[in-house]
Amino acid sequence: MTAHTVQVVDSLSLLALKVASNVFDLSSGLHHVSIRDQIVRAQLAVRDLKKGDPSLQSLLIVGAGAAGIAAALEAVDQDIAQVVVVEAGDEPFGLFKGVSKRYVGPYMYEWPGSFSRNQSYPEHAASPWAGRSKSPLEWKALQPIPADRLAAQLEQHLKDRLQEIKKSGKTPPAICVQVNKRTIQKFVKAFARRESARAISRLQGHTPATPLEFGYWHDLVWPELEPAKAVCTPQYVLLAAGMGAETVKLVKEDMSGVPYKDTNFWGARFWSDDTLMDAGTENLQLSIFGGGDGALQDVLRALTRRNHPLELMTFLERDPATKAALLRISPSLLDAERQSRQFGTWTLKNGEYATIDTVCRQLARTLAQQPRVARRVSRCIAFGSGKVSLFVLGKYFDKAYLLNRFLVHLIRACKQEHPAMWEGRMNFEVHFEQSAVAYELTESKQHVVSIKRWDAKPAVCYPHTCHMIAVRYGITPGTVPGAQMIQVSNKQSRQRTTLARVELPFVVERI
Ligand SMILES: Cc1cc2nc3c(=O)[nH]c(=O)nc-3n(C[C@H](O)[C@H](O)[C@H](O)COP(=O)(O)OP(=O)(O)OC[C@H]3O[C@@H](n4cnc5c(N)ncnc54)[C@H](O)[C@@H]3O)c2cc1C
């Protein structure tokens, strides 16, 4: 950065995101990465870069997801003249395209917060920031919407913005698609090396080498898909290439802890349309592996046939007694959630999940003891002879939003407390401290999974048979694109400081 006065408070986001000389990574090793977080993160990074270095006129952004596009549009707003986005896929927001069974909303997981009910971004009539918030990406939705519909809204918004920018006489960002990943990776590495050498030269009072050029002559510029024929000399690179590949392989290690190499099962990715809620599956044995948001979301979808947890909550609240009971415990839930988020920010061991899980279990049990609430909860469960079995490696659910976590505990507690109310409805079991250690597909197309029970001493194994499997283990370590491009060392490391785990504001204020 050139020698301008940088206010400490303004550089916090940059400190957290810096991964090499003049390279900032919006995606890797971060703790809060919802769509909303990524938009805010991108806005803050670009705003602070421009504030810290007012000479900034050329920016290269890797990845055209919500973060990359938000960064590009913010950069134009900040009067950065040349903005180039390079995307390996065919189009912006590709992750969400064609996914109609995953519902998303920027505030859904703020439940029981009062503003969890409106899913338009960034505006929210019921909040103190109404009218004062600003976002490069906007959408309107009263309820959570399918990812595909969100992608369509974002795409339209982006096209409109590109037109507006052209009309205003500014240069719109060049969004290049189908760019070779290897070319990008090579450039980013070379850029970081060159910028580091240039910084050292400046410190030593020498004339720095010329900055590195990025030629994008043959790249296709979205949406017209015409070749670009241009060159840019970025002053900074923002990596916004996403979270990496999800682990959807069922068995990782065998009974003795050795990496499993036998016949295995690969599940559908989270951002894809699965068949868990298809007609007829209510009479099947459905098994879900994992203990975080993905797994809990799938449990709720499979058991209740509702698209998202807020829909389920709305159904519960239509009964005044259940609504009143939920309202009574809301302050305790909110307290526990706030504390858990704080612990999550300032510790690395994830011990906070034990506490939030214990609170949720206790409050769920309290509600389940009220027959009227239990009856209402039982009515959410689909009729059918099938069963949902959830296998969790640890003693508790791990990183999950309060809404998913509490609802799963509530359903479980109500079923335990009043089994008679469950008559004719899908069965549900949660197995903590258990994991898949072997897999086989029978001739009749049934899955047989060997399950290891860690709570038994010594650990024991038993066969579990089912018709469908969802694997929700989260991101595979070592596959995060940003970290693959820039890595201080090849050794496994924590990579990021606590700053990268600090919770972000919901929106950025219009100044
Ligand atoms: C399993 C899972 C579940 C999630 N559930 C939710 C949820 O319910 N709600 C929510 O708000 N968020 C959820 N998230 C987070 C959500 O995916 C992110 O908030 C959002 O997609 C992040 O946007 P992004 O732009 O950072 O990354 P992405 O949307 O992943 O975009 C990254 C872009 O970079 C491109 N790219 C990748 N590598 C390269 C490369 N080397 N060169 C060039 N381009 C590259 C990709 O093609 C992609 O277009 C979930 C994430 C995961 C993994």
466 lines ligand 1 (CB under 6 A): no
- 257 lies in a domain? no
Q: Is 88 touching ligand 1 by the criterion CB < 6 Å?
A: yes
* Alpha carbon distance 238, 243 (integer Å): 14
Pocket test for ligand 1, best of 95, 137, 214, 220 (most atoms within 8 A of CB): 95
Q: Compute the distance from residue 61 Cα to the ligand 1 centre, in Å.
A: 14
Confidence of residue 15 (pLDDT cuts 50, 70, 90): confident
Closest CA to 413 of 389, 430, 437: 430
Residues 383 and 492 in one domain: no
Same domain, 454 and 334: yes
Q: Is the CB of 184 under 6 A from ligand 1?
A: yes
Ligand 1 nearest-atom number relative to CA 241:
34
Confidence of residue 126 (pLDDT cuts 50, 70, 90): low
Q: What would the two tokens of residue 479 be?
A: 């596959």
The total number of structural domains that make up the chain: 2
With 60 as the cut, is the pLDDT of residue 6 above it? no
User: For residue 494, what pLDDT is reported?
Assistant: 57
Q: Let me know: does 59 contact 48? Beta carbons within 8 Å.
A: no
pLDDT band with cut points at 50, 70 and 90 for residue 313: very high
Q: Which residues of 435-449 are buried (b: 16+ CB within 10 A; e: fewer)?
A: bbbbbeeeeeeebeb
Q: Report the nearest atom of ligand 1 relative to the CA of 474.
A: 1
How does pLDDT run across 47-64, given as a tens digit for each residue? 999 999 999 999 999 999
- Which tokens hold the place of 47? 């705003």
375 lies in a domain? yes
Consecutive H or E run containing 152: helix 147-167
Distance from the Cα of residue 378 to its chain's centroid: 30
Average pLDDT over residues 317-330: 97
Question: How many Å apart are CA 63 and CA 242, to the nearest integer?
Answer: 7
The finding on whether 65 has its CB within 6 A of some atom of ligand 1 is yes
**What predicted TM-score, i.e. pTM, was given to this entire model?**
0.94
Pocket test for ligand 1, best of 32, 34, 179, 300 (most atoms within 8 A of CB): 34
pLDDT the model gives residue 220: 94
Which range, of 164-168, 353-357, 400-404, 426-430, averages the lowest pLDDT? Answer: 353-357
- Which residue minimizes the CA distance to atom 38 of ligand 1? 241
Report the length, in residues, of the chain: 511
Give the 3-state secondary structure of residue 286. Answer: strand
CA 4–ligand 1 middle distance (angstroms): 34
Most confident of 60-69, 207-216, 479-488: 60-69
pLDDT for the residue numbered 505:
83
- pLDDT > 90 in the chain, percent: 76
**What residue type is assigned to position 3 of the chain?**
A
Question: What is the model's pLDDT at position 496?
Answer: 62
Residue-wise pLDDT tens digits, 198-250 = 999 999 999 999 999 998 888 899 999 999 888 999 999 999 999 989 999 99
Nearest to 165 by CA among 71, 73, 49, 228: 73
- Whether 496 and 434 share a structural domain: no
Q: Which CATH number does the domain housing residue 386 bear?
A: 3.50.50.60
How would you label 139-176 residue by residue, b for 16+ Cβ within 10 Å and e otherwise?
bebeebbbbbbbbbbbbebbeebbeebeeeeeebbbbb
Q: What is the mean pLDDT of residues 287-303?
A: 98
Same domain, 310 and 231: no
Compute the distance from residue 318 Cα to the ligand 1 centre, in Å: 35
Residue 303 Cβ inside 6 Å of ligand 1? The answer reads no
Tell whether ligand 1 has an atom less than 6 A from the beta carbon of residue 33.
Answer: yes
- Does residue 402 lie in a domain region? yes
Regarding whether 491 and 395 lie in a shared domain, the answer is no
Q: Which residues contact 291 (CB under 8 A, 6 or more apart)?
A: 392, 393, 394, 396, 397, 398, 400
Q: Which atom of ligand 1 is nearest to the CA of 36?
A: 11
Give the per-residue pLDDT at 335. 93
Question: Does ligand 1 lie within 6 Å of residue 60's CB atom?
Answer: no
The Cα 252–Cα 488 span in angstroms is 28
Residue nearest to atom 41 of ligand 1 (CA): 181
Ligand 1 close to Cβ of residue 86 (< 6 A): yes
Q: In degrees rounded to 5, what are phi and psi of residue 138?
A: -135, 150
Does any ligand 1 atom lie closer than 6 A to the CB of residue 284?
Answer: no
- In this prediction, residues 292-316 reach a mean pLDDT of 97
Q: Are residues 348 and 200 in the same domain?
A: no
Shared domain check, 454 and 487: no
Are 288 and 180 found together in one domain? no
pLDDT number for residue 509: 79
Give the closest residue (by CA) to ligand 1 atom 21.
35
- Assess if residue 110 is contained within a domain: no
Is the pLDDT at 350 greater than 80? The verdict is no
In a domain, 390, yes or no: yes
> Is residue 256 assigned to a domain?
no
Atom 30 of ligand 1 has which residue's CA nearest to it? 242
pLDDT band at 10 (very low <50, low <70, confident <90, very high): low
Which run of H or of E encompasses 47? helix 35-52
Q: CA quadruple 437, 443, 445, 446: dihedral positive or negative?
A: negative
Distance CA 95, CA 91 (A): 10
The finding on whether 307 has its CB within 6 A of some atom of ligand 1 is no
Q: Is the CB of 220 under 6 A from ligand 1?
A: no
Instruction: Establish if 339 belongs to a structural domain.
Output: yes
Q: Does residue 270 have its Cβ closer than 6 Å to ligand 1?
A: yes
My answer on whether 363 and 434 are in the same domain is: yes
Q: Examine the domain organization and report whether 54 and 153 are in the same domain.
A: yes
Per-residue model confidence (pLDDT) at position 366: 97
User: Given this model, what pLDDT does residue 121 score?
Assistant: 93
Ligand 1 proximity of 384 Cβ (cutoff 6 Å)? no
CB-ligand 1 contact for 277 (6 Å cutoff): no
Distance from residue 94's CA to the centre of ligand 1 (Å)? 9
pLDDT at position 477 over 90: no
Mean pLDDT of all residues belonging to the chain: 92
CA 374 to ligand 1 centroid distance, Å: 37
Distance 305 CA to ligand 1 centre (A): 26
Residues 444 and 426 in one domain: yes
In terms of domains, do 18 and 65 share one?
Answer: yes
User: Looking at the domain assignment, is residue 1 inside a domain?
Assistant: no
353, pLDDT greater than 90 = no
Helices (H) and strands (E) in the chain, counts: 12, 21
**Atom of ligand 1 lying closest to residue 184 CA:** 42
pLDDT above 70 covers what percent of the chain?
A: 94
Rounded Cα distance, 411 and 250, in Å: 26
294 lines ligand 1 (CB under 6 A): yes
Lowest mean pLDDT among 124-128, 210-214, 247-251, 387-391: 124-128
Residue ranges making up the domain that contains 360: 281-471
